[in-house]
Amino acid sequence: MTQVDVRPQAGDTVRGETAPGGTHGVRKKGLGGNSVGLFGNAIIGISTVAPVYCLTSTLGSTAGEVGLQMPAVFLAGFLPMLLVAFAYRELNKAMPDCGTSFTWTVKAFGPKIGWMCGWGLVIATIIVLSNLAGVATSYFWLLAGEITGSESIAALDDNKAVHILTCLALIAAATAISYRGMTATKGVQYTLVILQLVVLAVFVALALSKAGSFETSVDFSWSWMNPFAVQSFAAFTAGLSLSIFMYWGWDTCMASNEETVGSDKTPGRAALIAMVVLVGSYLATGIAAQMAVGSGEEGLGLANPETSDNVFAALAGPVMGPVLGILLFVAVLASAAASLQTTFIPVARTVLAMSTYEALPKSFTKVHPVFKTPGRATVVAGIATGAFYTVMTLVSEHVLVDTIYALGLMICFYYGITAFACVWYFRAELFRSVRDFAFKGLMPALGGVMLTAVFGKTLYDMWDPAYGSGSAVFGVGSVFVIAVGLLVLGAILMLVMQRRSPAFFRGEVLTKETPSLVVAD
């Protein structure tokens, strides 16, 4: 279908304009406004996080790092996310722009830091999209095997060619749905998110009822909620990095701000609703699973290395039985597939914003004339996801584990920068009231400091080949190679774009400012 070029013209600005003609202001992108409300936006945020997928992928890894203190680490990971969410809320009120972290950090710190922050968001999204597609593929064949009762069909997932082709087909389907816009996305998500939460509730109830029925069962203890009981600081930061990954995606509520009813306030409220639902789901599931099967490395224990990368596949039958167990397979497949679709929202809209402000090639500014979506950016994101997953699958047998660990570093990187951007951008307002000091200064600053500490400690730890899957490249941990290599790649691409688009990097397109310079509507 034909697409229209909506590159900003003179006067094309929204709130935040600081100069005539819109050259220095926040620009419109041509997206479909008022497409989703508060409930729909919260659903999209929960869907992007994919709670069931996150739990099956990281329950075992987190238990392996911190043992029975897993619930405490879930709470510890929630705290910086909540603090950063306040930063996103305040920035979104001032500048409801779909470029979110990219746009806001450019306004606060300038083009280069903003560009790298945008890159961090984009590459983190590509990583998680590839993992989502991989999990969806595995559960597709596992579910097919359960339904047909055929082990040979379930074993097709072990065939690398079949696995990759199935994965690419799922990525293509998710790309096509996202291409059709927020309305299509919202309709699919209601059913899939409700299904996930209902099945999780059933799993929790049955796991609690079977506590003490297995050899590895353990009795509940309030000490599980004590983060200081973790055996080492290195183990705590590794578990915290995984926990932070489990909350990643709530900021999709912000990325859809230009398409949301009440773009300045609704996304922030939706993000907070999504995070409350998530932390409640994670705590309930983690506690119930530990009571039922424990967190050890033997038998059904969550940290058993043979099952830790896909916990629900091992627990579905023993905890839920042969019939209801199939529902857990369905829920994981639905979770990964739903998130695979909605996760295209932040990456496509960030790329759209970066190209609108001339930080990426202008061809990405094209928006579909009917669906009002960043069509080219969505398709390119799908292609990049498929290519990344294919290459990493062929190169490393431990790609899922290592990219998840690398993803935690990327999340800390761009969330942390955004938190500090909030403090700096609103620096002229911090002492106007207690509220401004708390929500624009203190809380974002604490969140940024926490994420920076996790970033630094994780970066140090992942140099060791024992970190993550235990694989190495020339004696250096593969997680370190993946994470740092992707950041270096971003810096190289930034230098290339600086030559192609000097105006943006000179600060002539999107300028640094403080609220005192912003003209409100």
Lowest mean pLDDT: which of 150-159, 365-374, 397-406, 469-478? 397-406
Give the model confidence (pLDDT) of 64-104 as tens digits: 889 999 999 999 989 999 999 999 999 999 999 999 999 99
Residue in 491, 489, 466, 460 with CA at minimum distance from that of residue 478: 466
Taking the C-alpha atoms of residue 433 and residue 431, their distance in angstroms, rounded to an integer, is: 5
Give the model confidence (pLDDT) of 100-137 as tens digits: 999 999 999 999 999 999 999 999 888 888 888 888 88
Residue 518 binned pLDDT confidence (cut-offs 50, 70, 90): very low
The strand pair at 4-5 and 366-367 is best described as antiparallel
Taking residues 382-396, what's their average pLDDT? 85
Taking the C-alpha atoms of residue 379 and residue 172, their distance in angstroms, rounded to an integer, is: 9
Residue in 100, 61, 92, 330 with CA at minimum distance from that of residue 202: 330
**First-residue to last-residue Cα distance in the chain:** 36
Q: Is residue 167 a contact partner of residue 139, using CB atoms and an 8 Å limit? A: no
Taking residues 417-421, what's their average pLDDT? 97
**SS3 for 475?**
coil
The answer for residues whose C-beta is within 8 angstroms of residue 97's C-beta and 6 or more apart is 14, 16, 26, 103, 104, 257, 258, 353
Give the model confidence (pLDDT) of 315-364 as tens digits: 988 999 888 888 888 888 888 888 887 888 889 999 999 999 999 999 89
Q: What is the DSSP letter of 260?
A: B
Could you identify the residue written with the tokens 């300045």?
A: 264
Taking residues 170-192, what's their average pLDDT? 79
Taking the C-alpha atoms of residue 469 and residue 482, their distance in angstroms, rounded to an integer, is: 12
**What pLDDT does residue 104 have?**
95
Taking the C-alpha atoms of residue 10 and residue 18, their distance in angstroms, rounded to an integer, is: 13
Three-class DSSP labels, 287-355:
HHHHHHHCCCCCCCCCCCCCCCCCHHHHHHHHHHHHHHHHHHHHHHHHHHHHHHHHCHHHHHHHHHHHH
**What pLDDT does residue 20 have?**
28
Helices (H), 95-181: 101-109, 111-148, 151-154, 160-179
